[in-house]
Amino acid sequence: MKRINYLASFLFAAIILSSCGGLDKMKEEASNLKYNVTPAVLEMHGGVVKYAITGDIPAEWFNKSCTAEFTPVYKFNGEEVKLEAKTFQGEKVEGNNKVIAFETGGSIDFAGQFDYKETMRVGELHMGVIATLKDKNLDLGTIKLADGIISTPLLVEKNPMAITFEDNFQRVSAETQNADIHYQIQRSDVRKTELTAQDVKELEAFVKESVETANKKFKGIEISAYASPDGPEALNEKLSADRKKSADQYLAKVVGKTKMSKEDATAIYQMKSTAEDWDGFKKLVEASTIQDKDLILRVLSMYSDPIVREKEIKNISATYKVLADEILPQLRRSEIVVNVEKTGLSDEEIMAFAASNPDTLGLEEILYAGKLAQTIEEKAKIYTAATVKHPTCFRAWNNLGYTNIMLNNLTDAKANFDKANEIKANDPIITNNLGVVAFLNGDKENAQKLFLSATDAGNSVDYNLGIIKIMDGEYEAAINYFQNHTTFNTALAMLLAGKNDSAMKTIDAVEKDYAMKYYLKAVIAARIGNEGVVLENLKTAIEKDNSLKELAKTDLEFRTFFANDVFKALVE
């Protein structure tokens, strides 16, 4: 009996040793496991890194009685992120995990994502394995699967476009003065009483002042004479012609007092006469409260012959007396219109007043001065003056907010745009600018909502939405928003969407000459595989911004050049 117990103990120990030996064998041969990572170099898009890992388990490796937990781990800068683990089991294990056959081996697969942070750019993806047999755990070690993360989307330029309102300044503006001279029935002489009318006096003063003012120039004087549509047409033709002549004689005296040359006066006159003013008659009737107004208007629409019209209207006997007393006298007239062109201050004069005494400028002039100003500080000073003098002008507040964005005074900019929005709520330009402030303050979600509400403000809003689409990893959408913009971000979106040739053409067309333009061109060339273009543009980029050495040295876009002597010399 004692001998049997010894034998049982021996067999149990042998099993344990055999089991432990199986795990040791798995550890010794763990390097034979083959893994494939997609993408081969991890990439960040939309703030996350997605990965897919497949592995081949060789035959006669996976112990029939053990389980093994496989854990992908991303290690970086002294930190690590353990990704979703999976457990597999041998054929003799009772459980719900995927079985790996001892004789044939098998496959394993993982897919997932993790949030990206900038310190992860330089790092390594590993696979760790811990095998378990009964109560014994054995760490089989880790195998490196991939190097680092490509984070090219982070090159996006976060430079949303704010928008200013245009001024309505016109250096040359038109001024007009009107006057009417009325006549008695079947008369064409200008009565003295007409010359004392307020509109006639104002016309005379306007002509005098225009001649005496250096920055005013006559552009035309129009005299239109009319007869009322009652009476014979031939008589009315003669009356309107005579009335035109008498109005001209009166105006000649007015112009003569100004000492305008006869040639100048003749050049600016335009005269016409209308025998019977049926159009004027219709307008006055439409605006009146005359009984049978609709009947009169029906006559005018039914008959075009002036004789028939007059006859039919006179047949409306009760109404015709009212027409004769109230409407027809207003049609016996000469209309005089004087047109003058006024030339405003020069740019130099406007800027001098804006600097020394902005209160002397009108609203449109001071807004125009803000556009002329050469520096952001100067613009801010001018727009501030505009808001003081014109506190209810939403354009002034908006444009001041724009300058504060340029000066990175985001709190002041927000206050300026809020004031503009109080005055003119939900204007697309102001809404876009509020979105710009939100974006620059890190509130991308609210910024996007505001931009989407401001699409009527034009291409600048599309550009702003394109930036957000790059940040979200939606590159085709970004390209669509950038279609009217040839910028760094346009080329970047094309590159990220896999449109390398289009990206290269676009970055070449960017007019701004700065370091990042050449850095991006080097990245595009690296993806195309053009070594000469890579090295040439990387050299230019580093010459313009020496700090790019550190970025390029570890940028996996250039991983195939890390051993290149010229590349190493550039980044050292």
What are the extents of the domains in the chain?
2-150, 172-331
Please report the pLDDT score of residue 322 as a whole number: 78
Q: Does domain 2-150 have CATH number 2.60.40.10?
A: yes
pLDDT digits (tens, 9 = 90+) for 315-327: 775 677 778 788 8
Please report the pLDDT score of residue 326 as a whole number: 82
Mean pLDDT of 356-375: 95
pTM for the full model? 0.78
Instruction: Name the β-bridge partners of 45.
Output: 48
Q: Residue with structure tokens 């697969």?
A: 109
DSSP H helical ranges for 390-487: 394-406, 410-423, 428-440, 444-452, 459-471, 475-481
Mean pLDDT of 498-513: 97
Checking DSSP bridges between strand 86-89 and strand 67-76, what pairing results, if any?
antiparallel
CB-based contacts of 109, cutoff 8 Å, min separation 6:
52, 53, 54, 55
Dihedral, CA atoms, 185, 187, 190, 192, nearest 10 degrees? -60
Pair 102, 166: CB distance under 8 Å: no
- The domain defined by 172-331 folds into 60s Ribosomal Protein L30; Chain: A; (3.30.1330)
Residue 12 has pLDDT above 60, yes or no: no
Q: How far is CA 134 from the centre of its chain?
A: 65
Average of per-residue pLDDT values in the chain: 90
Return the ∠ at Cα 338 (arms to 337 and 342), rounded to 5°: 140
207-211, 408-412, 524-528: the lowest-pLDDT one:
207-211
Residue 124 has pLDDT above 90, yes or no: yes
Please report the pLDDT score of residue 216 as a whole number: 85
Q: Is 408 left (phi over 0), alpha (psi -120 to 50) or beta?
A: left
The helix or strand, by DSSP H or E, that contains position 128, with its residue range, turns out to be strand 124-133
Please report the pLDDT score of residue 261 as a whole number: 64
Residue 26 has pLDDT above 80, yes or no: yes
pLDDT band at 328 (very low <50, low <70, confident <90, very high): confident
Pair 111, 51: CB distance under 8 Å: yes
**Phi, psi values for residue 562, rounded to 5°:** -60, -30
Question: What tokens does 215 get?
Answer: 């920055």
- Name which of 318, 277, 274, 325 is nearest 296 in CA terms: 318
pLDDT digits (tens, 9 = 90+) for 30-42: 988 999 999 999 9
- Name which of 103, 28, 34, 94 is nearest 62 in CA terms: 103
Helix and strand numbers (H, E) in the chain are 25, 15
The count of C-alpha atoms lying within 13 angstroms of the C-alpha of 421, restricted to the half-sphere facing its C-beta, is 18
Q: Cα–Cα distance between 44 and 79 in angstroms, integer? A: 18
Checking DSSP bridges between strand 269-274 and strand 216-226, what pairing results, if any?
parallel
Q: Residue with structure tokens 């008589």?
A: 235
Pair 154, 43: CB distance under 8 Å: no
pLDDT band at 331 (very low <50, low <70, confident <90, very high): confident
Residue 197 has pLDDT above 50, yes or no: yes
pLDDT digits (tens, 9 = 90+) for 125-169: 999 999 999 889 999 999 999 999 999 999 999 999 999 999 999
Higher pLDDT, 445 or 255: 445
